[in-house]
Amino acid sequence: MSKFNKEQKIEIYRKWKDENISISQLSKAYKMNLANLDYMLRLIDMHGTDILNTGKQVYSKKFKEQAIEQAIFGTKSYVQLSLELGFKSIAMLNKWLREYKENGYNVIIKQKGRPARGQRESEIAQGTGERDPKAERRKLAIAYCERIRKKTAGLGSRKRSEEIAKAITDLRHEFKVSLDYVLEAIAEHPGLPIIARSSYYKIIKRKPKKPKRSKLIAKIKEIFNYHKGRYGYRRVALQLLKDGWKVTEKTVRYWMHKLGLKGIRRNKRKYSSYKGTIGKIASNLIHRDFFAPMPNMKWYTDITEFHLNDEKLYLSPILDGCGGDIVSYSISKHPDMDLVMTMLDKAFAKETALNNCIFHTDQGCQYQSPQYQRALKLQGITQSMSRKGNSMDDGLMENFFGLLKTEMFYDQEYKYHGLQELTQAIEEYIEYYNEERIKSRLKGLTPKEYRNQASINPVF
């Protein structure tokens, strides 16, 4: 947004507010990122045009600490909180959170210029490199918040207390600290749920009830049917453990065999967009090292084809290498540049700060085009391509397409009476895949759960 002066920004705002010109139209007219434009308009709408008068802000350590605490322990989205705090940049809060974790859960305020004579660098950095007891407690409280927030929502008081007690026990073992230490760390953040010391001991002394065989069988059937046969015994066992059942894979495999419940097996068919070398071929920067410790570090895409009643449908998704979640996608009857560029527009509107992202594809004609390569360059994204004839160089994307078609399309074509129904089914599956389908590699988490976790605690 810095390329526009105050008067131009006010002009854009007036067109949106008074002339009812849509954000997407303004984005195209002024060649602005859709998400950044939306943020600017909402910021002016909330604070008035005077917000544009302020120069570069210098924030105190106390202010940063309060903002970071609200982001981690509050319920508001980062965008909403950034708007309320009056940040001009949509990425500022994310940057603070990243620096906060990198610096051992301390807020660092680096002073400009050279340090005064005799003043230690660690003093200027306000604690860099030193073990800060407060930071250790904050780290514990954040870990507790991540474990408990979603699990306790909608539970009764007994179940809620049991989940809290379990989280506290896990943290005692993980951080090797006493119960009092954990309770004190949690109590420093009034918004976090907590139980009394006496209640904790009462809960952990309860003997866990052994599930009756009939209940276990019913639960296995429920999980298998809910996921439409997409779960084999390993994933059913993971879901049972996630739901609190004390079972082993061997037990689940035995009962699924007895009940005749067999997961869907894969079937491979592939669409190829390779038309030879028609543009610039990028180097392979991935080298089959597919996974990333944080979201938006490694992206993958490809186009897959669906044949239905002598008609064709094409899907172009972006898959993130961190948790394997689908960042954005587009569906069309034609595998043209509009399909790919629509997918990119959706991704760029949703995600910002992509300067460190490597975007990997095969050598399809769409990805060799100057239009596609220019769009990546404008976002600061580095392009990567598989070697010719090496499909496994794009193995993560191939794996997703295999899952998608096996679990909702192959041998199920009779369910869809036209491309419209098939499109709806694909959209529903991608939402299910992101939000509900757990993965063994992600330790029983869904791609979205893992993405959220990795955003706070990257796994390096």
Tell me how long the chain is.
460
What are the beta bridge partners of residue 307? 312
Q: Which of 288, 312, 313, 311 is nearest to 298 (CA)?
A: 288
Q: In the prediction, which pLDDT does 306 show?
A: 94
CA distance 33 to 345: 9
Q: In the prediction, which pLDDT does 353 show?
A: 83
- Type and span of the H or E element at 143: helix 133-152
Residue ranges for the chain with pLDDT beneath 70: 1-2, 110-131, 150-154, 209-212, 265-279, 389, 458-460
Q: In the prediction, which pLDDT does 123 show?
A: 45
CA distance 143 to 177: 14
CA distance 271 to 273: 7
Q: In the prediction, which pLDDT does 118 show?
A: 54
106-146 pLDDT per residue, tens: 887 766 656 555 555 444 444 444 557 878 888 888 888 87
C-alpha of 418 from chain center: 32
- Cβ proximity of 429 and 304 under 8 Å: no
346-376 pLDDT per residue, tens: 999 999 889 889 999 988 889 999 999 999 9
Q: In the prediction, which pLDDT does 279 show?
A: 66
152-173 pLDDT per residue, tens: 666 778 888 888 998 899 989 9
What are the beta bridge partners of residue 301? 318
- Structure-block tokens of residue 405: 């078609």
Phi-psi region of 334 (alpha: psi -120 to 50; beta: other; left: phi over 0): beta
Q: Rounded to 5 degrees, what are φ and ψ at 305? A: -115, 135
Q: In the prediction, which pLDDT does 50 show?
A: 84
- Structure-block tokens of residue 161: 């207390």
Query: In 227-369, which ranges are continuous DSSP H helix?
Result: 233-242, 249-259, 337-350, 365-368
The set of long-range contacts for 16-24, using a CB threshold of 8 Å and a minimum separation of 24, is 16/41, 17/41, 17/45
CA distance 305 to 315: 7
